Structure 1
Amino acid sequence: MKNYYEVADLLRLPVGDRTYTIPGLSIDGGKTVTALLAGELKDDPMSDDEFFTLMLGTAYAEMLEDGVPKGAIVLAAQASMLDFRSNRAAAELLWDEGGRPKAPEPSPASTPSPSTGKATSTRRRAGTSGTSSQKK
């Protein structure tokens, strides 16, 4: 039988020459993150080290040892949080965009017209359903 870590789909984040494997949250860690996001830990704040250890597990100590910049550690923690709360695709997108999401592509209806430089749009006629005219 294979070891869990051989078959698990763990979050892997490349930094420089190395790829860090984020082990995923424990059950208690998941409860803590859920409480944190719900604002239930306001009276008991955690330090940066505690938060990074919670979100990155052993990868945090490895990153510190390797001299990874704080910005990369923060982004890794954000990606781990997104992986836990949303999904892997969202976490990878955040990582790939460096934490700076791209602006959405403009829709064809708001694309500037080549002749006027103003946005073009097609107006729809108002429907008559549900309206009535007064009879005299």
Structure 2
Amino acid sequence: MAFKELGALLDAGLPLPIGGKTYTVPPPSAKTGLRVQNVMQAAATAAGGGKVSDAVLDDAAELDLYRDVLGTAYAEMIADGVKWPALKHCAMTAVAWIIQDEDAAERYWNSGGDPSQLAPNRATRRASSGTESSTRSRGSTSSTTRRQGKSGSGKKRPRRG
């Protein structure tokens, strides 16, 4: 078996429909992909209370990042007068595509950016996995409580001779 040409496998781009028009975000350059990974790592570090360089996450860097991840679709969106919330949503969808895959990008897109919509609720997970059951699980059979003696201290009293 021979390897297929990689460009034919990965160069499809990401189609994003807005207001009856579909914008195609081209695959990012390696430099942009690495930068997105770096920014996302910095964001995770900052969210965890770690120290991050302000230059990584400042407003200008954010706009540059949006332009970079959207590629040629960025200028097309600006020329068409796409509103800021839509442009930002497109950029964050592209980020999800770059750091994960097209399925993650589609989930983000369809959630409207609402994090609570990204993870299915428990009932949905159970129904889709086929593990929902009417049988209740058994409770724990181990015990961490100690029997207490008459004194209530939990210690044995010495015997009197």
- Calculate the TM-score normalised by the size of structure 1: 0.69
1:65 shift after superposition: 0.9
1:75 shift after superposition: 0.8
Q: Distance in 1 between matches of 2:107 and 2:98?
A: 14
Match of 2:112 among 65, 85, 98: 98
Aligned residues: 115
CA distance 1:43–1:96, shift in 2 (3 Å):
closer
Q: Secondary structure at the match of 1:38?
A: helix
Q: Which amino acid in structure 1 is aligned with residue 103 of structure 2?
A: A
Gapped runs of 5+ residues in structure 2?
A: 1-6, 43-51, 128-134, 144-161
Matched, 1:26 2:38: no
Q: Counterpart of 2:70?
A: 56
CA distance 1:124–1:20, shift in 2 (3 Å):
same
Q: Distance in 2 between matches of 1:121 and 1:42?
A: 51
Q: Determine if contact 2:93/2:105 at 8 Å carries over to the other structure.
A: yes
Q: Compare the two structures and name the one with the higher helix fraction.
A: 2
1:32 shift after superposition: 1.4
Q: Which amino acid in structure 2 is aligned with residue 93 of structure 1?
A: R
Matched, 1:37 2:37: no
> What stretches of structure 1 move > 6 A for 4+ residues in a row?
none
Q: Which has the larger radius of gyration?
A: 2
Q: Which amino acid in structure 1 is aligned with residue 27 of structure 2?
A: G
Q: Counterpart of 1:67?
A: 81
Q: Counterpart of 1:126?
A: 141
Q: Which amino acid in structure 1 is aligned with residue 37 of structure 2?
A: T
Q: Determine if contact 2:12/2:27 at 8 Å carries over to the other structure.
A: no
Q: Secondary structure at the match of 1:20?
A: strand
Identity of aligned residues (%): 28
Give the aligned CA root-mean-square deviation in angstroms.
3.0
Q: Distance in 2 between matches of 1:57 and 1:8?
A: 13
Gapped runs of 5+ residues in structure 1?
A: 109-119, 129-136
Q: Counterpart of 1:134?
A: none
| Deviations, residues 90-113 of structure 1 (Å, cap 9, x unaligned) | 1011112211226514358xxxxx
